[in-house]
């Protein structure tokens, strides 16, 4: 009864999606996406979404759930993912969270403090101040109202400074004072987190190959199509990896070969940040990828057999 939730995490291009599919087929599961950009409709090629035809009948959740002009957030994800997981479990199936957005995964499994979300008007005002009088000015403001946050947040980190001030102005209490109330969205569920990783040079090769494939598959046309459909150039997903650089190319910032190279480079850096993040994730069981390789699948299956079947499945983690 106490069947855990499986999570498949790790840097980009390690084969998470493939592994998730294989696990889903073997253990009667459904997949819950944990990628911050795949939630957006229409952004398919650059996010390397597993397209419906390739899903082998396995239900995928939290892919294509919002319009590109909408703002999706970690908090929203945590709620949506928790709901999806409960529904999957209610169907008696295995929930498999798969993706590389560490912050979303943490928001789901450890939670975000219960407090106010983004306030567009307030943020607009704060950002205006930042652009007119400098970020440092905002940081000094934060120092007045919330000394502790000012200490932990870098004086130039606009996003965090704005959020801290936003929370303070909205609640009258420093953001750090809210942290104690943080709780997981799924405190009752056990999770078996699996991490996939590859040596840096392999990641680099795979990433480079993937970028070329993305262009060959029509990345640029996809972007043109989105723009033609009225998706604003400053839509959230356009600001991220792949799309940002490709969009710049369409605007003539640089030629295609160097754009491909730049995207591959950014991917490598992103993979590094992901690794740093996931390394700190407790209880993560690392496997040498790639996720589609038979040896990885065998090793993962061995672990899951232990955790999902027999008595192993009844352990509950603290």
Enumerate binding residues for RNA (CB under 7 A).
35-38, 46-48, 71-76, 100-104, 107, 111-118, 123, 127, 152, 154, 156-160, 162-163, 167, 175, 178-179, 182, 200, 236, 239-244, 265-266, 268-270, 272-274, 276-277, 280
Q: Nearer to RNA by C-beta: 38 or 81?
A: 38
Shortest Cβ 66–RNA spacing (Å): 10
Distance separating the N- and C-terminal Cα atoms of the chain = 17
Using CB atoms within 10 Å of the CB of residue 240, give its burial: 0 to 12 exposed, 13 to 18 middle, 19+ buried.
middle
Query: CB 276 → RNA: shortest distance, Å?
Result: 5
Q: Give the residue among 169, 151, 158, 170 at the shortest CA–CA distance from 129.
A: 158
Least spacing, CB of residue 264 vs RNA, in Å: 9
Q: Minimum CB separation from RNA for residue 242, in Å? A: 5
Tokens of 172: 């009258």
Query: Minimal distance in Å, beta carbon 156 to RNA?
Result: 4
Residue 318 CB, shortest distance to RNA, in Å, is: 18
> Residue 91 or 179: which CB sits closer to RNA?
179
Q: Which is nearer to RNA, 258 or 283 (CB)?
A: 258
- Pairwise CA distance, residues 86 & 92, whole Å: 10
- Distance CA(303)–CA(42), nearest Å, equals 36
2 or 253: CB nearest RNA:
253
Residue 23's nearest CA partner among 304, 311, 309 is 304
By beta-carbon proximity to RNA, the closer residue of 27 and 103 is: 103
Least Å distance between CB 112 and RNA?
5
Q: What are residue 95's DSSP bridge partners?
A: 30
Per the CB < 8 A criterion, the answer to whether 288 and 298 are in contact is no
Supply the minimum distance, in Å, between the C-beta of residue 315 and RNA: 26
In order of 135, 149, 155, 234, 241, the CA distances from 160 in angstroms are 11, 9, 10, 20, 20
Residue tagged 């998706």 (tokens): 231
Nearer to RNA, 91 or 118 (CB): 118
- The length of the chain is 318
Nearer to RNA, 116 or 312 (CB): 116
Of the pair 50, 85, the CB lying nearest RNA is at 50
């Amino acid at each position: 009864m106490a069947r855990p939730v499986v999570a498949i995490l790790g840097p980009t291009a390690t084969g998470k999606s493939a592994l998730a599919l294989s696990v889903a087929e073997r253990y009667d599961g459904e997949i819950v996406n944990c990628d911050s950009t795949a939630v957006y409709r229409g952004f398919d090629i650059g996010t390397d979404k597993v397209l419906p035809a390739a899903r082998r009948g396995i239900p995928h959740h939290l892919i294509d759930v919002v319009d590109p002009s909408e703002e999706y957030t970690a908090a929203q994800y945590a709620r949506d993912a928790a709901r999806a997981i409960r529904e999957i479990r209610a169907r008696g199936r295995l929930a498999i969270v798969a993706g590389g957005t560490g912050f979303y995964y943490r928001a789901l499994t450890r939670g975000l403090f219960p407090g106010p979300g983004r306030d567009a008007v307030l943020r607009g005002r704060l950002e205006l101040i930042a652009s007119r009088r400098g970020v440092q000015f905002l940081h000094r403001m934060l120092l007045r109202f919330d000394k502790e946050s000012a200490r932990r947040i870098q004086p130039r980190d606009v996003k965090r400074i704005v959020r801290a001030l936003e929370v303070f102005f909205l609640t009258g209490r420093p953001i750090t004072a809210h942290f104690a109330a943080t709780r997981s969205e799924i405190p009752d569920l056990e999770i078996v987190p699996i991490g996939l990783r590859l040596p840096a040079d392999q990641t680099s090769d795979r990433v480079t190959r993937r970028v070329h494939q993305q262009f060959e598959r029509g990345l640029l046309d996809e972007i043109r199509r989105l723009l033609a459909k009225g998706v604003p150039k400053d839509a959230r997903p356009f600001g991220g990896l792949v799309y940002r650089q490709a969009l710049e190319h369409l605007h003539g910032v640089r030629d295609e070969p160097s754009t491909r190279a730049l995207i591959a480079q950014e991917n490598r850096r992103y993979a590094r940040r992901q690794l740093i993040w996931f390394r700190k994730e407790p209880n993560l069981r690392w496997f040498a990828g790639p996720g589609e390789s038979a040896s990885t699948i065998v090793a993962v299956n061995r672990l899951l057999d232990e955790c999902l079947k027999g008595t192993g499945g009844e352990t509950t983690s603290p």
